[in-house]
Amino acid sequence: MSLTQVSSNKCAGGFQKVFEHDSTELKCKMKFAVFLPPKAETDKCPVLYWLSGLTCTEQNFITKAGSQLAAAEQGIILVAPDTSPRGCNIEGEDESWDFGTGAGFYVDATEEPWKTNYRMYSYVTDELPKVINANFPAEPGRMSICGHSMGGHGALVCALRNPGKYKAVSAFAPICNPVQCPWGQKAFSGYLGSDRSTWEAYDATVLAGSYAGPELDILIDQGRDDQFLSASQLLPDNLIAVCSEKKIAVVFRLQPGYDHSYFFIYSFINDHIKHHAKYLNA
């Protein structure tokens, strides 16, 4: 697979790079960011995938989260893809900030006109890891996943639907129960259709209720002053209740004073990278 390097910057002793490639799943050009720690110059390294939230590109995480120092220290490659296909010339793709461009919701769409391009679930879980493993010093079989908001939803879904694939999972302010919130209902009805039973395959709370895989250690940070928490978009209590019932290990930290922004992510990203390193470097 041919990759085009878009940018490369020395960072934290390693390199922060952005690449573009022709995606077979999404039928368009896609960008993704890769941080290569100093260790990657001589050894294979585990990979932590970061999934961003609504309206974001691959740039938000690499410029705002301050993740590179901790990743360099732990010897972890960070991969941050874009959040949706772009430039597909689909009618209506740019009309809403919470649907279409920048809002792929990490599902494989089944409805027209979205189903040809909007296959972010398969892109993140299958195509992108193959691209990373083929082109970078990634240690096979050692990867984990993390995300924010819509990306937190995506990270939880990817881990719960693929038992054993990811060594650990964590999330910042994830959309925990999208079938029950306005964001999820809008996105799922558009991408997946009116049959709500099909939505459950992309709902972390529902998936946790039937999870039967190996032990999964989940870390979730949530800002107490997050405007979307009070607007009932995130619904973490629903997920926590199911995890407690199913005895799925989850550490949920409600952080006083923090909102939904990257200032919040910046404040706790080191904890999350250490959480992943515990399993990736074991």
Q: Please tell me which residue in 23, 52, 84, 149 is annotated as part of the active site.
A: 149
Give percent above pLDDT 90 in the chain. Answer: 99
Mean pLDDT, range 179-186, rounded to an integer: 98
Q: What is the mean pLDDT of the chain?
A: 97
Q: Mean per-residue pLDDT for 191-211?
A: 98
Q: Is the peptide bond before 38 cis (omega within 30 degrees of 0)?
A: no
In whole angstroms, how far apart are CA 169 and each of 101, 153, 231? Answer: 25, 11, 25
Q: Looking at residue 194, what DSSP letter applies?
A: S
* Beta bridge partner(s), residue 136: none
Q: Kindly tell me if the per-residue pLDDT of 276 is higher than 70.
A: yes
* Percent residues over pLDDT 70 in the chain: 100
pLDDT at 99 over 80: yes
Tell me how far apart the terminal alpha carbons of the chain are, to the nearest angstrom.
31
pLDDT, one tens digit per residue, over 108-159 is 999 999 999 999 999 999 999 999 999 999 998 999 999 999 999 999 999 9
Q: What is the C-alpha to C-alpha distance for residues 240 and 245, in angstroms, rounded to an integer? A: 9
Domain ranges, ordered by start, for the chain: 4-281
Residue 92: both structure tokens together: 């209506």
DSSP 180: G
Answer for the pair 172, 152: CB distance below 8 angstroms, yes or no.
Answer: yes
**Looking at 153, 260, 272, 275, which residue is catalytic?**
260
Which of 108, 153, 226, 272 is flagged as catalytic? 226
Architecture per CATH, domain 4-281, reads as 3-Layer(aba) Sandwich (3.40)
251 contacts: CB under 8 Å, gap ≥ 6: 217, 218, 219, 220
Distance between CA atoms of residues 125 and 105, nearest Å: 13
The reply to whether the predicted model has a pTM over 0.95 is: yes
Q: What is the C-alpha to C-alpha distance for residues 188 and 260, in angstroms, rounded to an integer?
A: 22
- In whole angstroms, what is the distance from residue 100 CA to residue 89 CA? 11
pLDDT digits (tens, 9 = 90+) for 45-94: 999 999 999 999 999 999 999 999 999 999 999 999 999 999 999 999 99
pLDDT band at 1 (very low <50, low <70, confident <90, very high): low
CA distance 66 to 263: 10
The confidence score (pLDDT) of residue 282 equals: 87
The pLDDT of 101-109, averaged and rounded, is: 98
Query: 226 an active-site residue?
Result: yes
**pLDDT at position 45:** 98
153 catalytic per annotation: no
Specify whether the CB–CB gap between 191 and 215 falls below 8 A. no
Q: Phi and psi of 99, rounded to 5°?
A: -160, 140
In order, the DSSP letters of 34-63 are EEE-GGGGTS-EEEEEEE--TT--THHHHH
